Amino acid sequence: MTGWFKVWRELLTSVLWLTEPFTRGQAFIDLIGLANHADGFIRVRGNRVEIKRGQCGWSEVKLAERWKWSRGRVRRFLTELKNDGRIEQQKNTITSLISLTNYERYQGDDTADGTADGQQTDSRRYPNKKDKKDKKEKKTPYSPPKGDGQQSSGVEATFEHWNSYAGRTVEKDGKRISWKSHKALSPEIRDAATARLKDYGVDAICAGIANYAIVLLGPEYYWSYPWALFEFLTRKQGKEKGSPLQLLQFLPDNFIVDRYLGKRFTNGRAEPSIAELAGCEPADEEDARKLYQEAGLIQE
């Protein structure tokens, strides 16, 4: 089988993708999806780390949490991918980066082929010469709208992603909890989404929504606050001025799924250190704790 097919990025933030331990193939596809599609940067313990197109800035600890694997299994898997020439790893005193060696091949601008929606080369698909000519014409690749249109597109993508969980329910402690979807994109939701997108970007917000869905709709998690989208985007952790937003705990760089496990699912295991949760070395425990305090994720 040759060629490739496109994967909708929203799949990687859906409950369908994230609720069960990953397979090895799923983990590799996830790495491709997590890699930056454009040059950018991340912050690690206050340090700016440049990320190039095709690089992934996720630590082994974060990948283990996302894939529901042990850290040892993640390390062995990455070593195998490196030995096979699929990835390269760059490690320093701050963090480690994963580079997909064939990212351009996976994520290039060529039209996907081998699919069942009309891209096959079966001659029966082309009953006349005109169809053959149309087939040979190069299609202009899609590019997102610029300026306000791009921002509007991000707001709509956020709204649609939120409503993709419509109708989901779960029972916790005898109480039925339902996802609060919306029939229309109200002005207040649009304004709140626009503000959050400026701060964090559409990928992070949609990933945060998916993480919130995991702990709200997962019966093993104690979280039982069914917010509407406006609340999710604006609710703060306290009434004090400058109190951090609740949604910060669900963003990819902060989310720690085990923090939300109900007592009957923890099996009495020891809680990981703050440094382990942040993907830092044990010696960096104090720095990691300060970062978590600043983000409002822990209180002393």
Domain holding 25, by residue range, is: 9-105
Domain containing 75 — which CATH number? Answer: 1.10.10.10
DSSP state of 172: E
Contact 233, 199 (CB under 8 A): no
Structure tokens at 80: 């195998």
The values of phi and psi at residue 140, to 5°, are -75, 125
For residues 153 and 142, is the Cβ–Cβ distance under 8 A? no
| Angle at CA of residue 96, ends 90 and 98, nearest 5° | 65
Instruction: Answer yes or no: is 247 within a domain.
Output: yes
Instruction: Output the tens digit of pLDDT for each of the chain's 300 residues.
Output: 666 777 777 788 887 888 888 999 999 999 998 888 888 887 777 778 888 989 988 888 888 888 998 888 999 999 999 999 999 998 776 778 999 998 888 776 655 444 333 333 333 333 344 444 444 444 333 333 344 444 567 898 899 989 988 888 988 888 899 999 999 999 999 999 999 999 888 888 998 998 899 889 888 888 888 999 999 999 988 777 778 888 898 998 888 887 887 765 444 444 445 544 444 444 555 655 565 555 454 444
Q: Based on the domain organization, do 256 and 280 belong to the same domain?
A: no
Whether residue 99 is found in the same domain as residue 152:
no
The answer to whether residue 2 is domain-embedded is: no
Q: Are residues 264 and 275 in the same domain?
A: no
* pLDDT at position 45: 72
Listed residues 81, 105, 129: the one ending a domain? 105
